A and B are shown apart, each in its own frame.
Chain A
Amino acid sequence: MAAFIARRLMFMVVVLFGVSILMFSILMSFSPERRAAAFVRTPQQVKEIPNLVKKYGLDKPFYIQYVNWIKQISQGNFGYSTVAASPTLDAIKKYFPTTIELNLFSLPIIITLGIWLGTVAGIHRDTFIDHTTRIVAIIGWSLPTFLFALILLMIFYSQFQLFPPEIISNHIDDFISNNPDKFIQYTGMYVIDGLLNGNFEVVFDALKHLVLPVVTQVTVVIAILVRVMRSSMLEEISKDYIITAKAKGVDTHTINHKHAKKNALLPAITVAGWLVALSIEGSVAVEFIFNRAGLGLLLVKAATQLDIPVVLAISILLGLIYVVANLIIDVLYAVIDPRIRLN
């Protein structure tokens, strides 16, 4: 097992190194002037472009820039972000908790609901329940996130004034910044900080702001899991042991939910890493519409304004999360299913 994990860790480093080269070469293949222009806001400043190119060494050969960049990163310097008006790493530290918080709520819902729906659809294959579940899931998947989010906002905020956009209400925000001693920001995630501080007003307020984003995200992402779980369930209940058990007269409900479901979960775990990636991606559009200052919002702004340090740093961070998530999943899988280790 230790050797297995060590090998996977090695592999992780190789992949992250590859990601850095991939992203760096995509974004650094712009002309030096073009990259310098990211620092420029008004026509008045354009004459600075040649100076900026020289100052930041943007015209140096690729490998020199890459090595310099790696050196900077190893010192924790990810460059200066113009869209966040602060060092990139600071910006990510500030924006990241918002994204984590959103996914902390949506992922468990996606997983429990997705597995349940998939199981039910699988058991009742080709029945009304199956078709409805699948079609509803696929419609959710087919909905452009931004459109769905705006429509939700229109109904539940504009019309009924129930669930506001953004992360937290103004008066709560004031309270938090006025009372740094009474309300300690441990994580930057309001729900968790609220619970840790025993302040339920903050918790409720943060939850109120989370309802629509979570609904959006669940609706859009859940289809994948439903589909995987359904086909895995189909495969499992068609296996001999289940058929035998059924033939022997064991209660169908027990077989399906106790035995088949348990085994069907195994293949579903393989998509868990993908699910995490999808979920984080889903946050991009969600954060943009609900104006939640998370990584997704930062990324959209950065990509459209060519804020290269941010795009690079976020891709590498998400790459890291993805690789680590997969590592954990692989290890889990190896623990559950010893055959894997033999490969």
Chain B
Amino acid sequence: MKKLHFFLASAFLCLMLVVPAGAADKDTIVSAIISTIQSMDPAKAYDDSSANKLYNIYDTLVAFKKTKTDEFEPRIATEIPTVANGGISKDGMTYTFKIRKGVKFHNGADLTPQDVVYSFKRNMITDAEGGPMALLLEPLTGIGNTRKDGKIIPGIFEKIDNSIEAKGDTVVFHLPKPFPPILGILTYTAGAILDKDWAIANGCWDGNIANAAKFNGPDTGKEPLHHITNGTNAYQLKKWEAGKEMILERFDDHWGKNAAFKTVRIKIIPEWSTRKMMFLNGDVNDMEIDAQYFAEMEKTKGIKLYKYPQLGVVCAMFTQKIEMTANPYVGSGKLDGKGIPSNFFADKNVRLAFAYAIDYKAIIKEVANGLGSIPANPIVDGLPYQKDTFHPQFDLAKVEEYLKKAHGGKLWKTGFKLTLLHNTGREIRRVAATMMAENISSLNPKFNIDVQAMDWGEYLTAIQQHRLPGFVVAWGADYPDPHNFVYPYLHSEGFYSKYIGYNNPEADKLIKMGIETASIDERRKIYYKLQDIWAEDIPGVTIIQKLGAKALSGHINGFNPNPMYQGTYTFYYQLY
């Protein structure tokens, strides 16, 4: 009996061995991503995994031109509005888009200017929690939200209703104030064009502005378009098993050139080793690679590798007003050698000392394997109005000099103890924090700096509570304009600057002027000045502007690396 079992089992095994391990299908692209695709609702999707898929399913009015971030190509609009062609009014407050004709949705319906108007209104009205709609609400209504403290802001829906209208074959946007980067924002999936009838039939806003409140802020996962799509772009959603895989299939009635690959299969493979083996075996055709593995992949034959700059920046930030109650990261909470006071980093000497303690070149060379550069300030290379400003270089003598000057010379005598933080799984951030800790601790036995990792959620919460003395964070562009970078880093209400207690009224004033000015020359002056303020105040220090890296199977052509899109992004319809 037992022998029979054994025989059957062996026969079975042999049978399986002769079946070849599935040959790669040339009409399919298999794409490996790391994190879960969160939502297919354009009013909710704000993570890279989701946005990238939406780009392939939905169309926007305009898109970035291949590898450019300052030139656009028309999608649903037939031309890019400019002041010269009358698409943009002289005051920069009215934008007119001519809408393409003969565009079909995946369900066969025709696209009309009414669909465009409805889509923008519907997405803004929905404004799902944690969604991207603030990007459009800010330029179109002047208010970045539909809700404040969980309550709907009175009159916001009327503002939305008045901001956009259809006129004949065109759609007109009315801005309350000029907002120069708006074309860049319109490329984002927050401006995805939906089919009005289909959307209403599936439970979206019914088109009546009086009913808007009912459709605002749906519960997470209950967004009406969470798992269904009906776009006009070259791929349609065939199957989505959330958290596992997604399959896109070519839409043959696409208004433009049809996609070359029939099927796109997107898999979530979190473990790098597994992902790499599958890529090398041809079971995965498209994936992002971390800088640290770029060199090893370069040796592989028959694959295509891309590296390209990213509009993003990693910064070390120093909290000038630390929340001290029950804070485990500040030691005793006093300048007594066993801790730090709340205003430890308010002294510019201390910030400078920490900034000089990072070996920037070593980070670029060793951790990022050369895939990056040191930006002088948060307005990184590739953004308009960028200029070089003062940036500290690694110099232990300078660290010592500034620490001796800090807190009236007391710091050097008494010493201090604090914890620097970074979030888990980010090597550059960890190394930068470790460098500051080790280099400064090496100067004086009384200096005691610990480094600690936190998971992302905990990290964000602690930053928001002003509890972290020093931390390393990153920012990626929502749209390619300096405003998107100076606001979080320099405005008193900006994401990082607010939580480190940075408040410079002049910076606030300049930032407001910068975004409300249409003139290029005026804006240049403003952003130059803001960059000088950053260099002068040193609220934090920029560490690296990374290059994105991507690997594609050798037989796939046509990938356009764009600094707005990280290595996870692929516009599958451009490939052939």
Contacts and interface: CB of A to CB of B under 8 A. Distances in A.
Interface in A38-67: 38-52, 54-55
B244 interface: yes
Interface stretch (A18-26, A135-143, A165-173, A268-276): A165-173
A141 B150 CA distance: 53
A189 interface: no
B239 interface: yes
Given A87-B221, A301-B243, 8 more contacts: A41-B47, A51-B150, A55-B150, A83-B243, A85-B37, A205-B22, A208-B19, A298-B243
A131 interface: no
Given A86-B221, A94-B244, A291 B269 contact: yes
A266 B13 CA distance: 33
B274 A51 contact: no
B92 to A, nearest CB: 25
Contact of B457 (A38, A47, A86, A161): A38
A95 B268 CA distance: 14
24 contacts: A33-B465, A39-B129, A41-B38, A46-B463, A46-B495, A49-B461, A51-B147, A82-B38, A85-B221, A86-B221, A91-B242, A153-B273, A153-B277, A157-B21, A164-B281, A170-B283, A171-B22, A205-B19, A208-B19, A288-B271, A289-B273, A289-B274, A291-B271, A305-B455
Interface in B264-282: 265, 267, 269-271, 273-274, 277-278, 280-281
Interface string A154-185: 10011001111110011110100100000000
B494 to A, nearest CB: 10
Nearest to B19: A204
* Secondary structure call for the A interface: helix
A34 interface: yes
B461 A34 contact: yes
Contact of B130 (A34, A41, A207): A41
Interface of A: 31, 33-34, 37-52, 54-55, 80-87, 91, 94-95, 150, 153-154, 157-158, 161-166, 169-172, 174, 177, 204-205, 207-208, 211, 288-291, 293, 298, 301, 304-306
A56 to B, nearest CB: 9
Contacts of A85: 36-39, 221, 242-243
A87 B223 CA distance: 12
A164 B279 CA distance: 12
Nearest to B148: A51
Nearest to A154: B277
Contacts of B30: 170
B36 A158 contact: no
A256 to B, nearest CB: 16
A50 B149 CA distance: 8
A41 B16 CA distance: 43
A288 B47 CA distance: 23
Interface in B419-462: 455-458, 460-461
Contacts of B38: 41, 82, 85
Contacts of B19: 204-205, 208
